[in-house]
Structure 1
């Protein structure tokens, strides 16, 4: 099974419309990708910390995905991990188990309930 990396913004946006499984250290998004094989992407926003912290988190996520996706990844799906605030301090083995749970839930078609839509950037009239 070949595993490739998502690079296009459109692929990340499409994954955001897929199934969402939130865990304490990350959110896993999965979405079918029309026969492109197993692909993964990682996102860590600037809210998490400085560049050193964000890069460390991305390295940890990359290693978790490389270990889990060959066996537990959904075939012909995109997998996107979004870093959350507590993800950098969490135990690596615990995060691996949580990723396994999230992938199993995604395989069964179970996800978290839909979030309410965000409010726009509309200014209040004066």
Structure 2
């Protein structure tokens, strides 16, 4: 299992590689954010992965675009996971970040990072820091 480099050696982070791990995470908790979808699950005692290990997976479907767009989105998701998960993730948990079409590859990096921090806080029932995405202008009012 290849490890994602992290600054905190006390919290090892590894990448999910097997499809059954992704499927188990997909059937657990979900938190939708503007930049991506976070799927998370606490591993049980029956899971062979070490208890103190945090595992992260990344997926982007063809809805995101061609291979270049999908790879760019996954690279950005890996970078925010490398920055946030060792500090905010919990040992014994699996996380899967699913890219969103036309958003993940183009969203501001600071906003993606704030999205992940807020999603992990919601998943783990922690107090959420004020999340204020940068507005690009006023949204039109919905017509009744």
TM-score bin (small chain): 0.7 to 0.9
- Which residue in 2 is equivalent to 1:123? none
**Which of 6, 10, 13 lines up with 1:3 in the alignment?**
13
Aligned mates of 1:87, 1:11 — CA distance in 2: 23
- Higher normalized contact order (CA 8 Å, seq sep 6+, divided by chain length): 1
Partner of 1:39, secondary structure, is strand
Residue of structure 1 in register with 2:82 after alignment: 66
Using the size of structure 2 for normalisation, the TM-score is 0.73
The answer on 1:108 being equivalent to 2:125 is: yes
Residue 108 of structure 2 is aligned with which of 68, 87, 91?
91
User: Which moves more between the two structures, 47-56 or 31-40?
Assistant: 31-40
Aligned to 1:30: 40
Larger relative helix fraction: 1
Give the SS at the match of 2:79.
Answer: helix
CA distance in 2, matches of 1:70, 1:36: 11
**1:52 maps onto 2:68 in alignment:** yes
Query: RMSD over aligned Cα, in angstroms?
Result: 1.2
**Aligned partners of 1:6, 1:91: CA distance in 2, in Å?**
25
Structure 1 length normalisation: TM-score? 0.83
